């Protein structure tokens, strides 16, 4: 089984195991802070140059700090970290790259029983750094759009909760390029001369996809209105 499929199955299995722990009666806080950490998988949707230059799938880790305005709307600040390796026809092929995504998003949620599905959209920036003493690219930062969806499950009798989400991060990569083209020109004397041609610079929109499972903690700030089974 491929690494990406294993990670997705682990995320789904953990959610179904946690489902019976969800509150049978949902408590809702008017205003609250939400602190969370998450981890899972990372996969680039777009290659740098067709299928000839690309990045490998890997893991992702992150943290979030949110403010719940009401039962439907919230705003979050996010940080996500990934490391993956460049492959194919690139001057930096075989080198690992760190990506640091940071930004903010608005979140729209609607509770369905013990689960609360949500959509989010926002933006920020990504800082990309080639790792190692043989690095050929200097670190660079680009604006990044963010959007995705998830679902949240509050644990019974606790301020802790579990959430799972998928996130798309979109930005422009315009650093580095393919390996130079090479030609060998023979001469009448039996020697050959090598000629290299610059193949230009990568300039492509990147769509990075993460799928994660997280643990959160809610800090109530406003009056709590609880509804449990048996209350009218």
Residue 74 covered by a domain: yes
Beta strands in 12-72 (DSSP E): 27-29, 32-44, 53-55, 58-68
Copy the structure tokens of residue 55.
Answer: 């990045």
Q: How many domains is the chain built from?
A: 1
Residue 231 lies in a domain: no
Instruction: Check: CB of residue 126 under 8 Å from CB of residue 142.
Output: yes
* Residues sharing a CB contact under 8 Å with residue 166, sequence separation 6 or more, in sequence order: 148, 149, 150, 209, 210, 211, 212
C-alpha–C-alpha distance, residues 210 and 170, integer Å: 12
Residue 229's pLDDT is 43
136 within some domain: yes
Q: CB-hemisphere CA count at 13 Å for 23? A: 22
Stretch (H or E) spanning 5: helix 3-18
> What's the mean per-residue pLDDT of the chain?
78
Q: What is the pLDDT of residue 54?
A: 80
We report the CATH number of the domain holding residue 152 as 2.40.160.20
Check residue 113 and give its pLDDT: 86
Print burial letters for 92-113: b (CB count within 10 Å at least 16), e (below 16).
beebbbebbbbbbbebebeeee
Phi/psi for 29 (5° steps) reads: -100, 135
The first and second tokens of residue 196, run together, are 């290299």
Classify residue 232: in a domain, yes or no: no
pTM above 0.75, yes or no: no
Give residue-wise pLDDT tens across range 24-68: 334 444 689 999 999 999 998 877 766 577 889 999 999 999 999
pLDDT tens digits, one per residue of 91-105: 777 889 999 999 999
In this prediction, residue 39 carries a pLDDT of 98
CA distances to 22, 25, 58, 167 from 80, rounded to whole Å, are 27, 33, 13, 10
Residue-wise pLDDT tens digits, 16-26 = 444 443 333 34
211-228 per-position pLDDT tens digit: 999 999 999 986 544 444
In a domain, 137, yes or no: yes
Please indicate, yes or no, if residue 66 is contained in any of the structural domains: yes
In a domain, 180, yes or no: yes
Q: What is the dihedral of CA 24, 25, 31, 32, to 10 degrees?
A: -30
Q: Rounded CA gap, 210 and 106, in Å?
A: 18
pLDDT digits (tens, 9 = 90+) for 121-151: 999 999 999 998 887 888 999 999 999 999 9
What is the domain extent for residue 162?
3-226
Report yes or no on 104 lying in a domain. yes
Structure confidence by residue, pLDDT tens digits, 63-122: 999 999 998 999 999 999 999 998 877 777 788 999 999 999 999 999 998 899 999 999
């Amino acid at each position: 089984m491929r690494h990406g499929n294993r990670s997705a199955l682990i995320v789904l299995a953990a959610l179904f195991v946690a489902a019976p722990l969800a509150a049978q009666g949902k408590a809702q806080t008017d205003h609250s802070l939400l602190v969370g950490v998450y981890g899972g998988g990372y996969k680039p949707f777009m290659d740098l140059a067709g299928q000839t230059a690309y990045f490998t799938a890997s893991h992702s880790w992150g943290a979030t700090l949110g403010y719940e305005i009401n039962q439907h709307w919230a705003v979050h600040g996010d940080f996500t970290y990934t490391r993956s390796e460049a492959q194919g026809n690139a001057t930096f092929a075989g080198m690992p790259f760190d990506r640091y995504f940071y930004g903010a998003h608005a979140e729209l949620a609607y509770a369905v029983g013990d689960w609360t599905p949500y959509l989010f959209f926002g933006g920020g920036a990504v800082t990309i750094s080639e790792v190692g003493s043989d690095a050929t690219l200097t670190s660079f930062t680009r604006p990044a759009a963010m959007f995705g969806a998830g679902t949240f499950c509050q644990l019974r009798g606790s301020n802790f909760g579990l959430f799972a989400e998928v996130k798309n991060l979109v930005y422009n990569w315009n650093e580095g390029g393919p390996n130079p083209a090479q030609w060998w020109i023979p001469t009448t004397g039996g020697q050959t001369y090598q000629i290299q041609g610059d193949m230009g610079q990568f300039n492509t929109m990147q769509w990075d996809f993460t799928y994660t499972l997280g643990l959160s903690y809610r800090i109530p700030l406003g009056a709590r209105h609880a509804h449990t089974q048996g209350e009218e």
